[in-house]
Structure 1
């Protein structure tokens, strides 16, 4: 075989990656343009921030979480001023703040530089996540990654917080699992959990499919590697900066009902007794019930579900039952929604709902104290249409995924003669345990 004969098929396989990477870079650039009105001074005025829809956590946290002066976990500041993120994300923030302080002497200029440098990190994370998703989607569906690269909701939410870092790690974990590199998958999963906590749900998805297929060794290797990776990055902070380390976990447990959550709607309407303790209990119970349903579905379906389908259902269930549903959480769900069911109609409907929520939350905050600008903002009823719009459209997508699991012939991915492109050892695996086998 000549070298030319080798290069041609290789080029044919890699051609989509270059344009996808460039389009993802365009999406990252557009996300930067969206926030330019704030970058040039708008962050110092809430009205300007909200009317231009350019809010971000990045700029204010540079000051509010001691990043301008010291390591956020070792900072001698009140507990509520410490960084409320897991350690990988907190140290990403710290490293970027070092560069900002090195480049600028003025603290105001440092904060802007901190934002710019963070955007570079997040933009690279978006491009990496898109390319990893394209590799996961397989040769016949590489272009599905465009949804992650440049969809309106992604562009609008990209730089609100640091979620794109966890997104890249999660896509890397899935690709490593798909390529049957269980140790690497575990390491990336552990790092993802130490960045944002939601990737822990993917371990549950792997467990359910392992239970059905009996492929225990790969699962245990991945779970063990994830535990080791998580411990390696967390234990030093647990030992030397306990108060700073536990801030994330205390904050998550004690945080009240916040924007975007359906529980806020019920509290606002006064339907039932919904104190903070009641919501925490009901939220956990609702999530447990939905996860139980996902487990039954996984073990009872006529054909083993795809890994991306279970990850999507678990993540969507978490969002719908959580006390908080921030606008940037859409970044968690987009790649998994597309991998689970790359059908454009429900995806477009959901994207419209996300764009409406992104618009509504800032307009709603304008009408709330301390601003109370009713002339610029929207009222309660209008805002809650956006809250329920997300719930309903994601519920529709979940229903379609459940139907695809129960009727695999309707699954557009499997119609291409594919079993599970993200499944790794689950791909074409035989069932070793199902609920039907118990009944028989």
Structure 2
């Protein structure tokens, strides 16, 4: 049975510098003289210095968000003539849905209009939209849409900065890992496309509370995050399989119970008084056909290319496109199988995987198998991959693929009016590259779970810095399961060494 240290006890903090720990950054650093020498005085070692690594990361996050606000500024007036929202890449649901969800008319979400989002997002929209509408009634000279967008942008940016701060708190010995998040073009282009940072911020707080061994409070915030966007609830799955491996089911039960209670409490008013409006989110997701850029969209395109041309001839993806209930079942089944595989990986790995590694795999599996993969969903993966595998090279390749998809998607939207802007095959290629790079990231995370000696985070921490109550020895059944699969490579399972020949001199050093 393998054992793992329960705490990083009396271990001094040794911040990891990317130029020494990351091969990609080390190679880039050669252009400016290479990594800092081992005898150099590091800037953070100087007492009284204001610009610590953490403060630099927070400042960079604020700078990226400020540039993002400027990039979205051409769309803030709401006067979207000649596809300006696509030609300048400044489209945002926040502004579009202020009018589409009738907030500009003073409609109360769910009560007066069936908002298509989970309730915490709907509450958030109403809490900001209704006061803006009321103020606009008394001050007709203001542009209500502009005010609504800017107030949302400020609060979503605060949540983004809070997420960066939580990532720094979870990686005190590796603060520069969070620069991947702070400088990401993904934030630059998509931070305020939708309200995703509301769920991200709540989920990040939940992960931090779990790491600090407050499982009940962690469940509260994961439940609230799941009531804003569904995916934070998926994190409870990795926590379950890891709790089973480490005999900490009591902590998981507390988190699960409070998550359910928190989710139910915020949903109950809408569920009880405006039930039809509450069902809108679930009905919409059930009825939606194959959406842009998904695995199913790519398959349907290939079906069209490979079809024989005979009347009534259609491939499997086209058939699924015409039979949405079957598409739903297949999508859920594939996601379920992926989760089973991730669970087995968690139990069979030589060391207990880290929470963020499994959380990233589960959320990525959901996106890969889902029939809907909106452009802003990339934000879900960004903080998780920073925690799971903070390697610059692969993340930059994925970011480039995401940017390629982003531009191709807007070109497709411009062409939806009648005149194509790019060939359909170009958009499918961009969609495929995005999917492939996410799959490659998953493969790299799986490799580091299977070979924990390759895990950069484990080089700085004795155990999982996000594990919290999970950081304890494995349950006895784990070793038995690994032996059953002939995976136990512990010293106890290795054959005893042969005795040396009688005339051989053995020198022990």
Q: Decide: shared fold, TM above 0.5.
A: yes
Deviation (angstroms), 1:339: 0.8
Q: Distance in 1 between matches of 2:297 and 2:245?
A: 38
8 Å Cα contact 1:306/1:422 also seen in 2: yes
CA distance in 2, matches of 1:11, 1:424: 32
* 2:128 matched residue in structure 1: 96
Given that 2:78 and 2:145 are in contact with CA atoms closer than 8 Å, whether structure 1 keeps it comes out as no
Of 122, 135, 139 in structure 1, the residue corresponding to residue 169 of structure 2 is 135
Indicate if the aligned counterparts of 2:223 and 2:258 stay in contact, CA closer than 8 A: yes
> Residue 344 of structure 1 aligns with which residue?
392
Going from structure 1 to structure 2, the CA distance change for 1:107 and 1:213 (only over 3 Å counts) comes to: farther
2:39 — aligned with what?
none
Structure 2 match to 1:52: 88
CA separation of 1:214/1:13 partners in 2, compared to 1, >3 Å: closer, same or farther?
farther
Conserved in 2, the CA contact under 8 Å of 1:100 and 1:117?
no
Equivalent residue, structure 2, for 1:24: 61
Once residues 448 and 409 of structure 2 are traced to their aligned partners in structure 1, the CA distance between those partners, rounded to angstroms, is: 33
Which residue is 2:332 aligned to? 284
Aligned residues: 422
Q: Which runs of 5+ in 2 are unaligned?
A: 1-44, 304-314, 487-509
Q: 2:76–2:145: 8 Å Cα contact kept in structure 1?
A: no
Alignment check: 8 A CA contact 1:87 1:194 kept: yes
Q: Which has the higher helix share?
A: 1
Matched, 1:430 2:474: yes
Match of 1:53, SS state, is: coil
Structure 1 contact 24–149 (Cα < 8 Å) conserved: yes
Q: Which residue of 1 aligns with 2:407?
A: 359
Paired residue for 1:194, among 208, 219, 227?
227
Indicate conservation of the 8 Å contact 1:257/1:263, yes or no.
yes
Matched, 1:230 2:278: no
Worse-superposed segment, 169-178 or 237-246: 237-246
Deviations 1:386-432 (A, max 9, x none): 11111111111111111111111111111224310101111243334
Instruction: Name segments (4+ residues, structure 1) moved above 6 Å.
Output: 8-14
Q: Is the 8 A contact 2:291 2:297 kept in 1?
A: yes
Q: Are the aligned partners of 2:95 and 2:149 in contact in 1 as well (CA < 8 Å)?
A: yes
Q: Deviations over 1:197-248 (max 9, x none)?
A: 0111101010010111110111111111111111111111111111111211
Aligned partners of 1:342 and 1:412 also within 8 Å: yes
Q: Distance in 2 between matches of 1:177 and 1:11?
A: 32
* Superposition CA RMSD, Å: 2.1
Query: Gapped runs of 5+ residues in structure 1?
Result: 1-7
Give matches, 1:379-398, under 5 Å. Answer: 379-398=423-442
Superposition map of 1:276-355 within 5 A? 276-355=324-403
In the TM superposition, 1:79-158 aligns within 5 A as: 82-105=114-137, 106=140, 109-137=143-171, 139-158=172-191
Give the conservation status (yes or no) of the 8 Å contact 2:202–2:225.
Answer: yes
TM-score (normalised: structure 1): 0.91
Q: Distance in 2 between matches of 1:176 and 1:46?
A: 47
Alpha-carbon distance, 1:251 to partner: 1.3
Contact 1:213 1:432 in 2 (8 A): no
TM alignment of 1:138-217, pairs within 5 A: 139-217=172-250
Q: Please list the CA deviations of residues 308-351 of structure 1 after superposition, one character each: whole Å capped at 9, or x if unmatched.
A: 10000001100100011111011100011111111111001000
Q: How far did 1:260 drift?
A: 2.0
Contact persistence 1:183–1:222 (CA under 8 A): yes
Partners of 1:240 and 1:9 lie apart in 2 by 60
Distance 1:429 1:381, change over 3 A: same
Distance 1:146 1:292 in 2: 33
SS at match of 2:428: helix
TM-score scaled to structure 2, two decimals? 0.79
C-alpha contact (below 8 Å) 1:104/1:113 kept by paired residues: no
3-state SS of paired residue (1:430): coil
- The whole-number CA distance in structure 2 between the counterparts of 1:92 and 1:426 is 34
Q: 1:13 to 1:88 in 2, by over 3 A?
A: farther
Q: Report how far residue 41 of structure 1 moved.
A: 4.5
Structure number with larger C-alpha Rg: 2
Alpha-carbon distance between aligned partners in 2 of 1:11 and 1:198, rounded to the nearest angstrom? 42
- Name the structure 1 match of 2:462: 418
Q: Deviations over 1:104-162 (max 9, x none)?
A: 2349811111111111111111111111111112x221221222223011210111100
- Offset at 1:103? 3.3
**Secondary structure, in 3 states, of the residue corresponding to 2:143?**
helix
- Partners of 2:447 and 2:210 in 1: CA distance: 25
Q: Find the aligned partners of 2:82 and 2:472 in 1 and give their Cα distance.
A: 54
Distance 1:383 1:97 in 2: 35
**2:477 aligns to what SS in structure 1?**
coil
1:263 is displaced (CA, Å) by 0.5
Q: Is the 8 A contact 1:304 1:431 kept in 2?
A: no
Which among 60, 63, 67 is matched to residue 103 of structure 2?
67
